[in-house]
Every structure is written in structure tokens, then in C-alpha cells.
């Protein structure tokens, strides 16, 4: 499963209502295992940018990046198949970084967990055209 940047933010002490990693650790996310989580390298950049914008201390960001690199398989966003698919997706999605994250899921034939409203607005089209599932926190976590 590819996870969107939102779910990485708590690692940098940025609070989100949809802390998927915490839910997985607490056993509230079905049979999802942290070992099965993959992230796009672009999400690390996105996390850094968000942390800097919110004034998160750099040491917290560095720790978050270290955890991500140790805990998850990080997929380079510059792979040819990802770049080509991201260009295709950019005609549907208006954010190139989101296009890269979805393209990563497509290239790896993995489900994508995201809270992004634009991606969810195109869920049916993306799932049918690219053969992946688009999931949200509510889809994955049992209250």
C-alpha cells in the first residue's frame, strides 16, 4: 500500500485527525502491517515543506525523515514509469505532486491511502483506468 503524505505528518509532530500509522500500530486498521507500507520520495519533500511552513523545528523533521527511511520502502519519483504515468494523471489531477503519488501506486500496482479530496473526486475514474483502489482513513480504520 502506498500512503499519501498526510499520514506521515504525525512523525514530524504535525497533528492530523487521520493518524493512520497510529491506528495500524494499535491494531485498528485490519490486517495492514507497517512492513507493507510504501511511500513516494516526493512525500518526504512534501513533509519537509509542510513542516517548514508550520515552523516545526528542523530536528523533528530530520527525525521524521530518518524514521520514514528506516521503516518504509521509499520509491523514487523519477522512475521512468512513474514520470510517464504522472504526466498522464496531471490531465486529471491539478497538482503534480499528487499525480506523482498516484502514479507511484499505479506503477507498483498498489492501493493508495489518501485523504486528498481531488483524488477522491476522481476515484472511480482512477480505479477503472489504472486498476488500483483509492482508500481513505475511514475505509481502513475501524472505530
60-89 mean pLDDT: 97
**Quick one: pLDDT band at residue 112, thresholds 50, 70, 90?**
very high
pLDDT tens, position by position, 34-48:
999 999 999 999 999
The pTM for the full model equals: 0.94
User: Above 90 in pLDDT, residue 19?
Assistant: yes
CATH class assigned to 2-138: alpha beta
DSSP notation for 88-139: HHHTT-S-HHHHHHHHHHHHHT--EE---HHHHHTHHHHHHHH---EE-HHH
Please answer whether residues 47 and 65 qualify as being in contact, where contact means their C-beta atoms are separated by less than 8 angstroms. yes
**Averaged pLDDT for residues 59-72:** 97
For 89, residues 6+ apart whose C-beta sits below 8 A from its C-beta are 99, 102, 103, 106, 126
Amino acid at each position: 500500500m502506498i500512503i499519501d503524505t498526510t499520514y506521515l505528518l504525525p512523525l514530524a509532530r504535525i497533528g492530523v485527525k487521520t493518524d493512520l500509522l497510529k491506528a495500524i500500530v494499535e491494531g485498528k486498521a485490519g490486517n495492514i502491517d507497517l512492513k507493507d507500507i510504501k511511500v513516494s520520495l516526493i512525500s518526504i519533500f512534501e513533509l519537509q515543506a509542510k513542516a517548514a511552513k508550520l515552523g516545526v523545528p528542523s530536528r523533528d523533521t530530520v527525525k521524521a525523515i530518518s524514521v520514514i527511511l528506516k521503516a518504509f520502502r521509499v520509491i523514487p519519483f523519477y522512475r521512468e514509469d512513474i514520470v510517464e504515468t504522472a504526466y498522464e494523471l496531471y490531465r486529471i489531477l491539478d497538482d503534480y505532486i499528487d499525480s506523482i503519488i498516484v502514479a507511484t501506486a499505479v506503477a507498483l500496482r498498489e492501493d493508495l491511502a489518501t485523504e486528498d479530496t481531488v483524488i477522491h473526486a476522481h476515484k472511480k475514474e482512477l480505479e477503472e483506468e489504472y486498476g488500483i483502489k483509492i482508500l481513505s482513513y475511514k475505509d481502513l480504520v475501524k472505530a
